[in-house]
Amino acid sequence: MSAVHNIPAPRASATDDAPVLEVRDLERHFTTSGGTVRAVDGVSLTIGRGEVLGLVGESGSGKSTVGRCVVRLDEPTGGRIALKGTDITHLSRRALRPLRTDMHLVFQDPSSSLDPRMTIGQIVAEPLRLHRLVPRSGLRGRAEELLGQVGLRPEHADRHPHELSGGQRQRISLARALSVAPDLLIADEPTSALDVSVQASVLNLLADLQRDRGFGCLFITHDLAAVEFLADRIAVMYLGRIVEEAPTAQLFADPLHPYTQALLSAAPVPDPTLQRTRERIVLTGDLPSPLSPPPGCHFHTRCPVAMDRCRTEVPELRELREPPAMSRRVACHLANTSPSGD
């Protein structure tokens, strides 16, 4: 039995039949002196209860902005965000506060997300105190219990963040996030700031927690090995848009979008005997500026198989259904796609 089984399970609600997260046509634009940056440009995605959706792409693709919009740290410019069937897109801070226990964000760098003035015990207990989930007299004991469930000792509660390693600090971030038993966890590059030697242990812990507690998870990363290990489905972003989404095994076995194909062709395989037979695709040019994205398909300036239509016509993110009862979406004029039900 897992050592994390005592963390409370996500709470049931009247909308338990709804996806834990549903995002439709999400946009996030930033106005700068040089113009408007379309950081997120019409993203739609759904996460079911107990499901892990990996969101991957190059730096600057907009994936972290999607995560920040979902928890309303960034205000969406357009679109809709629903948490367990409740539209939270335009809720005031006061109206949103009771729902904060249903979602939590784990940041990329634990050093910058943990208050250096607070002890570890205070940090872990803070959500419980703010939401009045545990009596003040029980905060210390609950914090120690949570620390134990992420592999730390009770005496760590009296230390400060700078006294611990990066891997230990990220475990503290997970303990704090799961203290309120959220239905949705946003993990934004949770291992990229860690030494390679501790990345695997943190990923294993996150996988154990997710499996045992059954929360939905948006796992944002550029690490293809990590997302293959953790995610049930993967969505690939390029310059603010999703270009492909599929079950993990399908995506790695048969990527349809040229950008996905290029990403996977560059991914190292730890076991040479299991090397996938995939030709290396080298993209030319740099990621275009989101201040002036290319017309048509954003990827056409770097795509090795682009045609004239790609330079003028935006490809629709269309659904392709394949047996056995799996669905995937791809935005490419060359992909053999058909609308659902055709």
pLDDT at 2 over 50: no
Q: What is the pLDDT of residue 197?
A: 79
The percent of residues above 70 in pLDDT, for the chain, comes to 88
The class level of CATH for 21-117+160-330 reads alpha beta
Helix, strand, coil fractions of the chain, as percent rounded to 5? 35, 20, 45
108-148: pLDDT as tens digits? 888 888 999 999 999 999 999 988 888 999 999 999 999 99
**Strands of the 233-238 sheet, one edge to the other:** 103-106, 184-188, 216-221, 52-56, 233-238, 241-247, 326-330, 318-322
Mean pLDDT for the stretch of residues 194-222: 91
Q: Parallel, antiparallel, or unpaired: how do β-strands 103-106 and 184-188 relate?
A: parallel
Least confident of 66-70, 308-312, 321-325: 321-325
| pTM across the whole model | 0.88
Pairwise CA distance, residues 322 & 100, whole Å: 37
111: three-class secondary structure by DSSP = helix
Mean pLDDT of the chain: 87
Confidence label for 341 from pLDDT (cuts 50, 70 and 90): very low
pLDDT at 296 over 50: yes
Q: Parallel, antiparallel, or unpaired: how do β-strands 35-47 and 21-32 relate?
A: antiparallel
Q: Supply the DSSP string of 293-322, one letter for each residue.
A: PPSSSTTTTT-TT--GGGGTSPPP-EEEEE
215-258: pLDDT as tens digits? 999 999 999 999 999 999 999 999 999 999 999 999 999 999 99
pLDDT at 299 over 90: yes
What type of residue sits at position 40? V
Q: What is the pLDDT of residue 203?
A: 93
Confidence label for 287 from pLDDT (cuts 50, 70 and 90): confident
Q: What is the pLDDT of residue 268?
A: 66
Which residue in 30, 66, 28, 71 sits closest to 45, CA to CA?
A: 66
Which residue in 184, 177, 71 sits closest to 127, CA to CA?
A: 177
The percent of residues above 90 in pLDDT, for the chain, comes to 68
Higher pLDDT, 285 or 268: 285
Sign of CA dihedral 173, 126, 70, 30: negative
Mean pLDDT for the stretch of residues 80-85: 97
Pairwise CA distance, residues 111 & 250, whole Å: 36
Q: What is the pLDDT of residue 337?
A: 46
Pairwise CA distance, residues 326 & 194, whole Å: 35
Confidence label for 272 from pLDDT (cuts 50, 70 and 90): low
In the numeric block, the tokens 């659902």 are attached to 340
Asked whether the beta carbons of 49 and 55 are under 8 A apart, the reply is no
